[in-house]
């Protein structure tokens, strides 16, 4: 099982209210509430045993609190991504220097490749990479080559119309995979102990396993019960303001 010591998060910017969204009907995030939810998120990661580094807000990038998308941190190396969303590409400035404080071995995705970390799901030494509107085949191929150079494996996953791979499925360790209905028939995922997420709870397909706990978004009772029934300890967090701009639990941190 992967165990983590560190997390990196970025404080939400006030411009968060203008983050990219496919759910405008949910309204704009309330910045003050988003800040409180972010503080609770940091507290939850600390409770899971992580030392959490909080980077300063970046006002010029509304989606910059979703740090998961600008890097992939593995046990052997770290990757600086190249986000597929134009408005997010500048978020990678300084990320290489930041990761160099923790890693000797770094890689970066080069144009025309794009990858966002939300499309990367780590299952032990195997990595699944969603070929989404943000992650292209060239970016995935560069990442897979970098993985293979270090003894890992990677494979691309064709995507339904879902933002990121981990919007729709998340690995809980111990062979357990949470799966939204959009991914239910995927042969790639047939060998997992699958926990199917009910369509009305699809937001809960993005949960976060961190050491001894699974962090679950509050308000999804079926998902919570299924994860507990799998024998896992849970922490619930209110994610209402991030949900409004398509952000889930995993998006808000890098864990390694
Ligand atoms: C975006 O559309 O890029 C942000 N509003 C949400 C990013 C969510 N990130 C993630 O799932 N890793």
- Name the residue range of residue 80's domain: 6-255
Asked whether residue 225 is domain-assigned, the answer is yes
pLDDT in tens, 210-245: 999 999 999 999 999 999 999 999 999 999 999 999
Structural domains counted in the chain? 1
Cβ(154)–Cβ(74) below 8 Å = no
User: pTM of the entire structure?
Assistant: 0.97
Q: Report the sign of the C-alpha dihedral through residues 10, 67, 45, 240, in that order.
A: positive
Task: Answer yes or no: is the C-beta of 68 below 6 A from any ligand 1 atom.
Answer: yes
Asked whether residue 143 is domain-assigned, the answer is yes
Q: What mean pLDDT comes out for the span 17-41?
A: 97
Asked whether residue 54 is domain-assigned, the answer is yes
CATH number for the domain that contains residue 242: 3.75.10.10
Residue 1 confidence class, pLDDT cut points 50, 70, 90: confident
Asked whether residue 1 is domain-assigned, the answer is no
89 by Cβ neighbours in 10 Å (0-12 / 13-18 / 19+) ranks as middle
Catalytic one of 48, 164, 169, 207 = 164
pLDDT in tens, 68-115: 999 999 999 999 999 999 999 999 999 999 999 999 999 999 999 999
The pLDDT of residue 184: 87
Cβ(61)–Cβ(15) below 8 Å = yes
**Integer Cα distance of 32 and 213 in angstroms:** 27
CA of 247 to the centre of ligand 1 (A): 5
The pLDDT of residue 18: 97
CA of 192 to the centre of ligand 1 (A): 26
Q: Is residue 169 annotated as part of the catalytic site, yes or no?
A: no
Asked whether residue 139 is domain-assigned, the answer is yes
Q: Which residue has the tokens 């807000």?
A: 57
Q: Report the sign of the C-alpha dihedral through residues 218, 222, 226, 228, in that order.
A: positive
Please give the mean pLDDT across all residues of the chain: 97
């Amino acid at each position: 099982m992967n165990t983590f010591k560190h997390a990196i998060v970025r404080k939400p910017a006030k411009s968060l209210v203008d983050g990219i969204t496919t759910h405008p009907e949910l309204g704009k995030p309330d910045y003050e509430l988003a800040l409180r939810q972010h503080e609770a998120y940091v507290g939850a990661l600390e409770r899971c045993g992580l030392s959490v580094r909080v980077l300063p807000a970046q006002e010029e990038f509304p989606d910059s609190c979703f740090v998961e998308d600008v890097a992939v941190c593995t046990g052997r190396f770290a990757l600086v991504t190249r986000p597929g969303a134009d408005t997010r590409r500048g978020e990678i400035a300084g990320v290489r220097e930041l990761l160099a404080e923790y890693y000797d071995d770094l890689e970066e995705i080069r144009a025309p490749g794009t990858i966002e970390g939300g499309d990367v799901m780590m299952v032990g030494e195997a990595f699944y990479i969603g070929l989404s509107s943000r992650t292209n085949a060239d970016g995935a191929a560069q990442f897979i080559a970098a993985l293979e150079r270090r003894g890992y494996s990677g494979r691309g996953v064709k995507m339904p119309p879902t933002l990121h791979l981990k919007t729709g499925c998340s690995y809980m360790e111990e062979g357990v995979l949470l799966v939204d209905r959009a991914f239910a028939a995927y042969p790639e995922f047939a060998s997992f102990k699958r926990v199917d997420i009910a369509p009305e709870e699809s937001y809960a397909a993005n949960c976060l396993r961190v050491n001894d706990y699974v962090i679950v978004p509050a308000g999804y009772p079926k998902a919570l019960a299924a994860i507990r029934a799998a024998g896992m300890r849970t922490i619930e967090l209110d994610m209402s303001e991030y949900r409004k701009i398509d952000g889930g639990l995993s998006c808000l941190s890098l864990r390694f």
